[in-house]
């Protein structure tokens, strides 16, 4: 009978709608909802209190909480995502060094500018890549150059496509897409390990300050170099999340198509600033896309002790599920939570201070599990929003429906884009 009450099938069947179904069982505005997963007690939580609890390492253990099928395909074996405590903080410091510092974002910006200008030129010349496909290539080439990786633009585009497919396939276990994701994971792990070994042998130069240099020379807490394959996994974890931002770009295309007034405002901002990167309005739009279309609906952890939130208890060893989508769109935390309104982010500089804004995780990136590449993601998505607001490209209305049962998801067409094919009159694009 316990299996009949298990909620695991509902997660597979309803995807991003799973949390909404669970919240119907409890009073309106509740912060926690009991359920059962894989025969064990679990608690779904949302809101600022939930974020604080979920990222409390004294209360929650992350190791082993992510299903192995997801961990192995998406993040890679032994990656930082599976670690806790001092070991996690030690490994993560290298991610902070290579991705989180403002100097790294500044180094990334001109690479974004170059790649999105190239995608714009292709659309204006009749190119037919979707917003998603363009973003996979643009983000992949920019992040690989930023990370110090060698290779031609074509080779980097091909590897970007492999990494994008890993992201696309991890949520469909036992499917052909998942099998292809594992094949691409095997190829990528081998290729990344070869790059690490080449740096260590001295046959490939890695510039200091790049992710390639950092992971080739990273040492564990015992002072030992990471095995080349594991260092290669973390090297990929420095660039693959940026490529995954392409899914947000597809959602941005959908929202821009439905809001021509915002396209006009962002285009005017671009013409005034003369740059594709860093526009305040484009950044606010990007943030609202991230709020309303998070990558995954929830994140899991295990209770280290008996926990209680909002009247519901979870025994030691039970699963705590942080409702990412439910927190980002929580009516108790956000005004007009169900409305897409980028104005809510205009002028917001310290987005990390908004406790219930967690599309890339919550808490402090320095000592918690929040993604240290979030600044890069925001810069990249804002650049894409700017490019998609170019007056001489059109976002088509076909194929913008979203399958909310699929993990991860995006508009079906990826955001079809067409250009006029006429020369731009904007001085910035001459």
Amino acid 64: pLDDT: 78
Amino acid 430: pLDDT: 35
pLDDT at 322 over 90: yes
87-114 average pLDDT score: 93
Q: How confident is the model at residue 377 (pLDDT cuts 50, 70, 90)?
A: very high
pLDDT at 293 over 70: yes
The highest-confidence range among 7-16, 78-87, 272-281, by mean pLDDT, is 272-281
* Buried residues in 378-396 as b, exposed as e (16+ CB within 10 A): bbbbbbbbbbbbbebbebe
Rounded CA-CA distance 386/138 in Å is: 14
pLDDT at 2 over 50: no
Q: How confident is the model at residue 424 (pLDDT cuts 50, 70, 90)?
A: very low
Here the tokens at position 294 are: 């998070």
Rounded CA-CA distance 240/136 in Å is: 10
Q: How confident is the model at residue 3 (pLDDT cuts 50, 70, 90)?
A: very low
- Note the pTM of the prediction, 2 decimals: 0.93
Amino acid 421: pLDDT: 52
Nearest residue to 313 (alpha-carbon basis) of 33, 28, 47, 64:
33
Q: How confident is the model at residue 121 (pLDDT cuts 50, 70, 90)?
A: very high
CATH architecture label of 3-429:
Orthogonal Bundle (1.10)
Residues 6+ apart with CB under 8 A from 370: 55, 352, 358, 360, 361, 362, 363, 364
Q: What is the pLDDT of residues 32-65, one digit of tens each?
A: 999 999 888 999 999 999 999 999 989 999 877 7
Q: What is the pLDDT of residues 141-170, one digit of tens each?
A: 999 999 999 999 999 999 999 999 999 988
Amino acid 187: pLDDT: 97
Amino acid 26: pLDDT: 96
pLDDT at 420 over 80: no
Q: What is the mean pLDDT of the chain?
A: 92
Query: Which of the two residues, 174 and 186, has the higher pLDDT score?
Result: 186
pLDDT at 425 over 60: no
Token pair 């590449």: residue: 373
Alpha-carbon torsion (230, 235, 236, 237), positive or negative: positive
Written as one string, the DSSP assignment of 143-192 is: HHHHTT----HHHHHHHHHHHHHHHHHTTSTTSHHHHHHHHHHHHHHHHH
85-101 average pLDDT score: 90
The length of the chain, given as a count of residues? 430
Q: What is the pLDDT of residues 131-143, one digit of tens each?
A: 999 999 999 999 9
Query: Mapping DSSP to helix (H, G, I), strand (E, B) and coil, where does residue 361 land?
Result: strand
Report the range of poorest mean pLDDT among 55-59, 121-125, 169-173.
Answer: 169-173
Here the tokens at position 385 are: 């929003």
Q: What is the pLDDT of residues 211-226, one digit of tens each?
A: 999 999 999 999 999 9
DSSP 8-state class, residue 100:
I
Show me where the domains of the chain are located.
Answer: 3-429
List the strands of the sheet with 298-303, edge to edge: 32-37, 40-45, 319-323, 298-303, 60-61
Residues 6+ apart with CB under 8 A from 189: 76, 229, 232, 233, 236
Query: Mapping DSSP to helix (H, G, I), strand (E, B) and coil, where does residue 304 land?
Result: coil
349-362 average pLDDT score: 93
289-294 average pLDDT score: 96
Here the tokens at position 217 are: 């020379």
Residues 351/383/369/240 CA torsion (nearest 10 deg):
180
Amino acid 69: pLDDT: 65
């Amino acid at each position: 009978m316990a299996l009949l009450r298990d909620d695991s099938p509902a997660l597979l069947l309803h995807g991003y709608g799973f949390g909404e179904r669970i919240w119907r069982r409890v009073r309106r505005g509740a912060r926690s909802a009991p359920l059962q997963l894989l025969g064990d007690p679990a608690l779904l939580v949302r809101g600022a209190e939930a974020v604080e609890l979920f990222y409390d390492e004294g209360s929650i253990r992350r190791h082993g909480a992510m299903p192995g099928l997801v961990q192995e395909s998406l993040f890679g074996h032994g990656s930082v995502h599976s670690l806790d405590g001092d070991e996690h903080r030690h490994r993560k410091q290298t991610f902070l060094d290579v991705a989180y510092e403002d100097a790294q974002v500044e180094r990334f910006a001109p690479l974004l500018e170059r790649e999105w200008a190239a995608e714009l030129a292709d659309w204006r010349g009749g190119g037919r890549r979707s917003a998603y496909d363009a973003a996979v290539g643009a983000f992949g080439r920019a992040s690989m150059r930023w990370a110090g990786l060698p290779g031609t633009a074509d080779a980097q585009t091909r590897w970007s496509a492999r990494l994008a497919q890993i992201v696309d396939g991890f949520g469909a276990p036992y499917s052909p897409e998942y099998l292809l994701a594992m094949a691409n994971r095997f190829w990528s792990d081998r290729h990344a390990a070869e790059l690490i070994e080449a740096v260590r042998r001295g046959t490939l130069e890695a510039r200091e300050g790049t992710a390639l240099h950092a992971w080739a020379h990273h040492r564990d807490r015992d002072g030992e170099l990471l095995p080349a394959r594991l260092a290669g996994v973390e090297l990929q974890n420095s660039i693959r999340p940026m490529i995954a931002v392409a899914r947000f770009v597809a959602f941005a295309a959908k929202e821009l198509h439905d809001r021509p007034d915002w396209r006009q405002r962002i285009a005017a901002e671009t013409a005034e600033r003369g740059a594709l990167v860093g526009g305040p309005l484009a950044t606010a739009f990007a943030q609202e896309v991230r709020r309303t279309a998070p990558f995954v609906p929830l994140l899991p952890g295990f209770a280290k002790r008996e926990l209680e939130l909002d009247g519901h208890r979870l025994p030691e060893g039970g699963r705590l599920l942080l409702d990412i989508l439910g927190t980002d769109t929580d009516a108790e935390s956000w005004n007009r939570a169900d409305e897409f309104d980028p104005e809510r982010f205009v002028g917001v500089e310290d987005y990390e201070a908004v406790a219930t804004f967690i599309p890339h995780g919550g808490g402090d990136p320095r000592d918690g599990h929040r993604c240290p590449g979030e600044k890069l993601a925001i810069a990249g998505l804002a650049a894409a929003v700017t490019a998609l607001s170019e007056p001489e490209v059109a976002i088509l209305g076909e194929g913008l429906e979203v399958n909310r049962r699929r993990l991860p998801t995006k508009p079906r067409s990826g955001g079809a884009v067409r250009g006029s094919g006429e020369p731009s009159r904007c001085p910035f694009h001459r």
